[in-house]
Amino acid sequence: MNSPIISFRTNSAPYTVISPVSYVQSALGGNNLPVKEGENSNFTCFRVYNNFNQAASTAAMFNISLTVYDDADPNSHTATKSPVSQSWVRIYETGFGESTVAPGAYTQVIGTDTAIGRSGVDSYIPEFGNDGGSAPYLRAGTDGNGVGFLEFASYAQVPSGAGFESYTFAISFFYEWMA
């Protein structure tokens, strides 16, 4: 088996690769505003795909978890920024699916809303695999030649008393796989 082929994509057609996620609030007129202290951001929904383009013999991922760090660089997996150190980011699973072709058949679920951060101390483990099983599993279809995905909703919950600041941080997706 070949290594998993991961892509972060939108949760609606045409399922394009996502741009950086912004945690903001909507304003009248369609503009976005920073999230005020004591309030929640809009929801950001995305899918994590394994093998969106259906390459042959793609391995499954298991022992999946998601968290946030100060930076995407593995050498910077720290928690010095407030959204990370205080676990302001929340996430839960909203669906899963798989098929022989993309985007895959969708099944809706509602996972447990979980705060993530603190250098991975607070992490989210998906409650359903993409085949509907109860293990955090993401396979590339039933035979490794198809596509599978997990869908998530995420938002920022900014605590009361938080100062006005712009933060950058990374959502990290961890998994294991075997050839």
Contacts of residue 14, defined as CB under 8 A and 6 or more positions apart, other chains included, come to none
Q: Distance of CA 145 to CAs 10, 22, 65, 161, Å? A: 22, 33, 23, 50
> Per-block average pLDDT, block size 10, for the chain (179 residues)?
96 94 86 91 97 97 95 84 95 97 96 93 96 95 96 97 90 92
**pLDDT for position 104:** 94
1 lies in some domain: no
- Give the H or E element holding residue 6: strand 6-9
48 lies in some domain: yes
Range of the domain at 146: 6-177
Q: Which amino acid is at 172?
A: S
**pLDDT for position 112:** 97
Report the SS3 class of residue 85: helix
164 lies in some domain: yes
Query: Closest by alpha carbon to 42, among 21, 18, 23?
Result: 23
Distance in Å from the first CA to the final CA of the chain = 5
**pLDDT for position 134:** 94
